[in-house]
Amino acid sequence: MELITQLFDFILHVDRYLEVFVQNYGTWVYALLFLIVFVETGVVVMPFLPGDSLLFVAGAMCGVGLMSFPLAVGILLAAAVLGDQCNYSVGRYFGPKVFQWEQSRFFNKAAFDKAHNFYETYGGFTIIAARFMPFLRTFVPFVGGVAQMNRAKFTLFNVVGATLWVVGICTAGYFLGSFPWVKANLDKIIWGMILVPGLFVLFGAWKAQRADKAAA
């Protein structure tokens, strides 16, 4: 329980932790940024790390001169792209093994064909949109690999999505992070970055469920 409490405290007050880390360890902060974003996007069991808020705070710290904006963005972009590629590769490796269970209700050839066709048709949009949705961005590349989405196509949309995500949120932090209102309400902004995309996901799932019922 204490570990969970500390994790939530880190997510909601990532600005304080990151500033202390910069003061104590200097340029090692870039390695920390790379590690957090790579693990959040590349390890399917670690979706709870603070990706969006970390990017915003990193941009804000660049805005006040504590870090280099081009270097931070470059490192975060590399971490985001490589993380998704790793996650996709793991899914692609395990996919054929998972869908060999013909007697399984969910993991059978028909389920694989359905997932594969979805990713070949809507995979690009899904990969880009999921970048801005906590939790989903960790699972989407893995499922894309499981569904055997074309690697070149995945890589293209991975790079596009990572660029929009990293550059967009870091730039917002760079220009807005020093505003007194933003600094005073950063914890609320972080909650908003977590909850608002989540509501969109729930709404989309609800609509899809209704559509499936109507089709049936």
Q: What is the pLDDT at residue 3?
A: 46
Q: Under 8 Å CB-to-CB from 197, ≥6 apart: which residues? A: 132, 133, 134, 136
- Residue 138: what pLDDT? 82
What pLDDT was estimated at residue 201?
55
pLDDT of 80 reads 94
Radius of gyration of the chain (CA): 19
pLDDT at 131: 86
pTM for this model (two decimals):
0.77
Fill in the DSSP letter of residue 33: H
Note the pLDDT of residue 119: 77
Residues lower than pLDDT 50 in the chain: 3, 7
Among 46, 158, 145, CA closest to 89: 145
Residue partners of 43: CB distance under 8 A and separation at least 6: 83, 86, 87, 138
pLDDT of residue 167: 94
| Amino acid letter for position 175 | F
Q: What is the pLDDT of residue 75?
A: 96
Burial class (CB in 10 A: 0-12, 13-18, 19+), 186: buried
